[in-house]
Amino acid sequence: MRTTAIAVLACSAPLLAQAEGWEYSVAPYVWLPTISLESARAKDSSGLVDGSRLDIGPTDYLKALDFALMLTGDMRKDDWVFKGDLIYLKFGIDDQDIDFARPGSGPVAGEYEAVLDGAIIALAGGRTLVRTANYHLDGLVGWRRVAMSLEVSGDLDGGGSIDLSSDLDFDDAFVALNGRYAFGDGDRWSLRYYADIGAGDSDLTWQAMVGLGYGFGWGDLFVNYRHLEYDFGDVRQFEDLSARFSGPSIGGIFRF
C-alpha cells in the first residue's frame, strides 16, 4: 500500500533529522481497542438492513490477526514540533455477535464473518504554547487519513444471506493539543495527554488520550487509554456509518 509506505517514512523522519538543535523520538506501541462499527441503515442484494452494528474486542481479533504495525514519533527544535502516527491492521473474524435488524421484523439471527484491512495515518506540526521546567503544552494542526476496507457477510438462520462491503477512504484536517507533565524534579513519572478534533471527507472525527509514563535514560515506558471516533456519514452501502476505537495501549519511547 503506497500510503502506508509513505506513512512509515513520515513516522521515521525523526531518524533522518539533523542532530544539531533537534530532539526526536520513535515509539513502537501496542493498542488494543474495542472496535465498534455502526450504521443507521445498510443495503445489500437482499434488501434493507436497519440498525447494523459490529463490535470486535481484542480477544476476538488477536487470535485472527494477520498483521499489525503501530508506530509514532516526533521531532522538536526550540518551540517547533512535528508528529506522526501510523496504525495498520489486517484481520478476519468468524462467528461474531453482529446484530442486524430489518424494518418491522426485529433482529435477524445468523452466523457472520468480518474482515478489516487498512491503515490510519496522521501527521501534524505546530509549536509549544507553554513550557516550564516540568511541563509543556503543544498546539498542533494536522491531517489524518483512513484507508481501510470493511467486509461483513453471513448466512441467516431463516434462510438467505447478507453481504456488505465498503472502502473507507477519508482525509480529514484537525487541530490538537498535546501535553506532558512530569511529577517532581526527578522527571521519572509523567502524565501524558492528547486531544484532537477535525473534519473533511468525514462529517466529524475526534480523539482523546491520557496516560502515565516512566522515564529511563534512553526514554520512557508508557501506558495510555485512547479513544478515536469517526462519523463518516453515508458510505456506499451504509448510511450514517460511524466507527469507534477505544482501549488501552502500551509502548516505549526511544529518545535521541
HSE toward the beta carbon, residue 135, CA cutoff 13 A:
7
pLDDT tens for residues 217-240?
A: 888 999 999 999 999 988 777 778
Amino acid at 80: W
pLDDT tens for residues 7-54?
A: 444 444 444 444 568 899 999 999 999 888 887 776 665 555 556 677
Query: Among 94-98, 135-139, 247-251, where is mean pLDDT lowest?
Result: 94-98
- pLDDT at position 20 is 67
Round to the nearest angstrom and report the end-to-end CA distance of the chain.
29
In whole angstroms, what is the distance from residue 193 CA to residue 206 CA? 14
Per-residue pLDDT for 78 more than 50?
yes
Per-residue pLDDT for 4 more than 60?
no
The listed range with the strongest mean pLDDT (9-18, 144-153, 231-240, 243-252) is 243-252
Sign of dihedral through CA atoms 226, 231, 235, 238? positive
Q: In terms of CATH, what superfamily is 2-255? A: OMPT-like (2.40.128.90)
Largest interatomic CA distance in the chain: 68
In whole angstroms, what is the distance from residue 177 CA to residue 175 CA? 7
pLDDT tens for residues 93-135?
A: 776 545 555 545 555 566 777 788 999 999 999 999 999 988 9
In whole angstroms, what is the distance from residue 217 CA to residue 203 CA? 43
